[in-house]
Amino acid sequence: MSKHDRLYKCEKPGCKMERGFTTSGGLSRHVRDVHGKGLELMCPYPGCTRSLQRGFKRKDHLNVHLRRVHKIGDAPRLL
Ligand SMILES: [Zn+2]
Ligand SMILES: [Zn+2]
């Protein structure tokens, strides 16, 4: 077992991407591209549960999450 074994795996039902991703960013992009078609806004913080499986349907919901959980203001522009 090495440190590099840690993978982020897609947990969407029926997903064929079984290899997993080495970064949470890669996984969230996969989820958005393959499963979400951009419908969900994901939290930009790596490791946050809302950055992986459950995004937000509305940007103001994401902003509330960012303020409450991460103590920052509106979502960064990269979203
Ligand atoms: Zn997937
Ligand atoms: Zn978050």
Q: Are residues 78 and 45 in the same domain?
A: yes
Q: Are residues 49 and 60 in the same domain?
A: yes
Determine the distance separating the centroid of ligand 1 and the alpha carbon of 25, expressed in angstroms.
13
Determine the distance separating the centroid of ligand 1 and the alpha carbon of 3, expressed in angstroms.
23
What per-residue confidence (pLDDT) applies to 1? 46
Q: Are residues 32 and 6 in the same domain?
A: yes
What pLDDT band is residue 77 in, cutting at 50, 70 and 90? low
Determine the distance separating the centroid of ligand 2 and the alpha carbon of 19, expressed in angstroms.
24
22 torsion bin: left (phi>0), alpha (psi -120 to 50), beta (else): alpha
Residues with CB under 5 A from ligand 1 (ion): 10, 12, 15, 17
Q: What is the pTM of this model?
A: 0.44
pLDDT in tens, 1-59: 455 556 898 888 788 887 889 998 988 888 877 876 556 788 888 888 888 777 888 88
Q: Are residues 22 and 32 in the same domain?
A: yes
Using alpha carbons, list the distances in angstroms from residue 52 to 1, 2, 59, 77.
24, 23, 16, 19
Q: Are residues 33 and 56 in the same domain?
A: no
Determine the distance separating the centroid of ligand 1 and the alpha carbon of 64, expressed in angstroms.
26
